[in-house]
Amino acid sequence: MGKVLMFDLGGVLVLNDMFDELPKLTRDNVGDDALKAIWLQSSAVRNFELGTCSPEKFAASMVEEFRLFTTPNEFLSAFSGWPKGFYSGVEELLGDLRAQYTTACLSNSNELHWTTNVTSHFDYAYSSHLLNRIKPDVQVFEFVTTDIGCNPGDIAFFDDSQHQCGCCTGIRLGGTPYSWVCGTQSCA
């Protein structure tokens, strides 16, 4: 197998209004970076993205954990609409890339946002809620490498979050580093 191009979705290929919309619902005046850090450390988010709780339980936990001034049902309705689809030109780009490379997506996602409208554009599509594994945990990278049937060094992974890029925290599988592009920083 040749090179595998693997992409995160939200913020990389898919427009997601989450960090524009979530601050409007919080009681606390938190900056963007702080809110992203809270999101990445949230037990409610982690459980939902691991597929271990229902949307209703997630929404109730979010209202409490993030001190939202909305009801769980109102939050869930808003949350469901935050992903807006591919950025302009992405579908064509993926078609061109698929003609020359194996393509994959690996996303910390959930049952409300995971859709074949997006995943059908990849040879392999992985979501944390279906795998019961989540980035940046090494188990998710081990799983996708084995499932695709390639060596870690064959994967170029593009993510907008250094926290989600395993190599930035020292992940090496079988002694072989992945090739990573985290935001504008290459971690190869």
The CATH number that applies at residue 49 is: 1.10.150
Buried b (16+ CB within 10 A) or exposed e, 58-92: bbbbbbeebebebebeebbebbeebbeebeeebbe
Number of domains in the chain: 2
Claim to verify: residue 52 and residue 66 sit in the same structural domain: yes
- The Cβ-side half-sphere exposure at 9, using a 13 Å CA radius, reads 31
Rounded to whole angstroms, what are the CA distances from 70 to 26, 29, 58, 60, 67? 9, 16, 14, 10, 9
Tell me, what amino acid is at 150?
A: C
Average pLDDT value for residue range 160-187:
48
| Domain residue limits at 181 | 4-14+84-186
pLDDT of 3 over the 70 cut = yes
Domain check: are 103 and 53 in the same one?
A: no
> Can you tell me the distance from the alpha carbon of 22 to that of 39, in angstroms, rounded to the nearest whole number?
10
| Helix, strand counts (H, E) of the chain | 9, 10
C-alpha–C-alpha distance, residues 116 and 154, integer Å:
25
Q: Final residue of a domain: which of 80, 106, 125?
A: 80
Q: Whole-prediction pTM value?
A: 0.86
pLDDT of residue 161: 64
More confident residue, 187 or 107: 107
Q: How far apart are CA 56 and CA 169, in angstroms?
A: 33
Instruction: Supply angle C-alpha 38, 13, 163, rounded to 5.
Output: 35
In the predicted model, what is the mean pLDDT of the chain?
86
Which residue matches tokens 């594994």? 133
Are 39 and 128 within one domain? no
Residues 93 and 35 placed together within one structural domain of the fold: no
pLDDT tens digit sequence for 102-153? 999 999 999 999 999 999 999 999 999 999 999 888 889 889 999 999 988 8
DSSP for 9-47 reads -BTTTEEE-HHHHGGGGBSS---HHHHHHHHHH-HHHHH
Structure-token pair, residue 82:
């935050």
